[in-house]
Amino acid sequence: MLEVKHLAKHFGEKAAVKNVSFQVNQGDAFGLLGPNGAGKSTTISMITGLLSPDEGEISMHGKTMRKHPKFLKQRIGLVPQTIALYDMMNARENLEFWGTVYGITGSALKDNVNWCLQVAGLEDNSKQLVKKYSGGMQRRLNIAVGMIHRPEVLIMDEPTVGIDPQSRNHILETVKNLNRQGVTIIYTSHYMEEVQFLCERLAIMDHGQVIAYGDLNDVRQLAGTLATITIDTQGDLTALVAELQQDLSLKQVQNKEGALVMQSTNAASAVSKAVLAMSRHGLQPTKINVEEPNLESAFLHLTGRQLRDGWDGASA
Ligand SMILES: Nc1ncnc2c1ncn2[C@@H]1O[C@H](COP(=O)(O)OP(=O)(O)OP(=O)(O)O)[C@@H](O)[C@H]1O
């Protein structure tokens, strides 16, 4: 439905996007994941027609942005990273303003405004001045503004940057709800949890390139199929580690700063084996943590670097 082929963009000497290709299907929630500076914003600026690519092509339903910019722009909505709202107007007035910018009037405008307020969960606050809104409510109205022309595809550029975890969850639910209503979503983020929660398909970008692309499960498994199990305990682990190292279903069994750490394709069985062995060695588990293969481990495997600092960091 939306196809991006061999996109490239330079800013002077800097190659911000290099040979980026991917395809988004109708009804997809598609994630564009990557660390700061990976080229996500530049890519979506080209998809929305705000920037012209140096090379490559964007097309939707077989029509290219180069030849049919109006066709694509009518069908694509953008939620920018920065909040673009008039804070001396209320939510309804903001939506009406942006609707008229798209040439929507009369009952169509009213219907679209009401739909946007409902999807963003702002019906009860529609008459309140935006400057009185919380950061999370402003973010949701920002999303609503991006949908005022009822686009087929809504592109969101890191819509949760800089907000508290509770508002973030509310936004993620709003996005999921929109996708359930049939809106195709392209969601850029450097938070792998957001992409894992929302998206069935994704591309991971790094240094301007797509380094992994496909179904969530396939990309997640790029790092392998081993879960990492960490069991905290108190006492001497030497004999326990030596015994578990003999078990061929357990990999990388080690004592890491006083905790038992190991890897296995079957985490449940590994935990039960370890706990039984611990009891034989007179040790009590105080905390058990199982980390299944995830997008973070896939990114680490592909680049040797961490994707970002932390889920609750709430920083840009
Ligand atoms: N207008 C510009 N002029 C010069 N360099 C730019 C410009 N826009 C982006 N860049 C550079 O291109 C690279 C990709 O930036 P881009 O904003 O697309 O990344 P991003 O993945 O969206 O990261 P972020 O989350 O920080 O926005 C970065 O190195 C950035 O500094």
ipTM value: 0.94
Residue of 10, 11, 315 best suited for mutating to test ligand 1, as the one with most atoms within 8 Å of CB? 11
Report yes or no: 154 and 184 within 8 Å, Cβ to Cβ: yes
Among 4, 42, 155, which is best to mutate for testing ligand 1, by the most ligand atoms less than 8 A from CB?
42
* Nearest residue to 150 via CA among 125, 121, 114, 174: 114
H/E stretch holding 47: helix 40-47
Contact 29, 77 (CB under 8 A): no
* Burial label, 127 (beta-carbon count in 10 A; 0-12, 13-18, 19+): exposed
Question: Sorting pLDDT into bands at 50, 70 and 90, what band is 254?
Answer: very high
Overall fold of domain 2-222: Rossmann fold (3.40.50)
Average pLDDT of the chain? 89
- CATH fold of the domain at 226-292: Alpha-Beta Plaits (3.30.70)
- Ligand 1 atom closest to Cα of residue 42: 18
pLDDT digits (tens, 9 = 90+) for 260-278: 999 888 999 999 999 999 9
pLDDT of residue 68: 94
pLDDT tens-digit map of 98-109: 999 989 999 999
Q: Name residues contacting ligand 1 (CB within 6 A).
A: 11, 14, 16, 34, 36-42, 158
Ligand 1 centroid from CA 96, angstroms: 32
Residue nearest atom 7 of ligand 1, based on CA coordinates: 11
Give me the residue label for tokens 């909505």.
Answer: 77
Residue 314: the pLDDT is 36
Residue 300 CB coordination number (10 Å): 14
Q: Are 205 and 33 in contact (CB under 8 A)?
A: yes
- Cβ distance 163 to 174 under 8 Å? no
Query: Under 8 Å CB-to-CB from 248, ≥6 apart: which residues?
Result: none
What tokens were used for 28?
A: 């997809």
CA nearest 203: which of 9, 38, 75? 38
Burial class of 5 by CB neighbour count within 10 A (0 to 12, 13 to 18, 19+)? middle
Domain-by-domain residue ranges, the chain? 2-222, 226-292
Closest C-alpha to ligand 1, atom 25: 36
Cα separation, 184 vs 240, in Å, equals 51
- pLDDT-based confidence at 312, cuts 50/70/90? very low
Structure tokens at 213: 């692309």
Centre of ligand 1 to C-alpha 256, Å, is: 39
**In 3D, which of 22, 310, 70 has the Cα closest to residue 190?**
310
Q: How confident is the model at residue 308 (pLDDT cuts 50, 70, 90)?
A: low
β-bridge mates for residue 20, sequence order: 7
Taking the centre of ligand 1 as the mean of its atom positions, its distance from the CA of residue 44, in whole angstroms, is 11
pTM (2 d.p.): 0.79
Q: Tell me which residue has its CA closest to atom 16 in ligand 1.
A: 39
295's torsion region: left (phi>0), alpha (psi -120 to 50) or beta? alpha
CA of 18 to the centre of ligand 1 (A): 13
Provide the pLDDT for residue 221. 80
- The Cα 137–Cα 91 span in angstroms is 10
| Ligand 1 atom at minimum distance from 39 CA | 18
Atom from ligand 1 closest to the CA of residue 190: 25
Nearest CA to ligand 1 atom 17: 41
What tens digit of pLDDT does each residue of 109-168 get? 999 999 999 988 888 988 989 899 988 889 889 999 999 999 999 999 988 887 788 888
Q: Check whether 309 has a pLDDT greater than 80.
A: no
Inter-helix orientation angle 165-180/106-119, to 10°: 130
CA distance 131 to 134: 8
* pLDDT of the residue at 316: 32
Which atom number of ligand 1 is nearest to the Cα of residue 158?
Answer: 25
State the average pLDDT over residues 7-20: 95
Tell how far the Cα of 37 is from the centroid of ligand 1, in angstroms: 5
In ligand 1, the atom with minimum distance to the C-alpha of 34 is 21
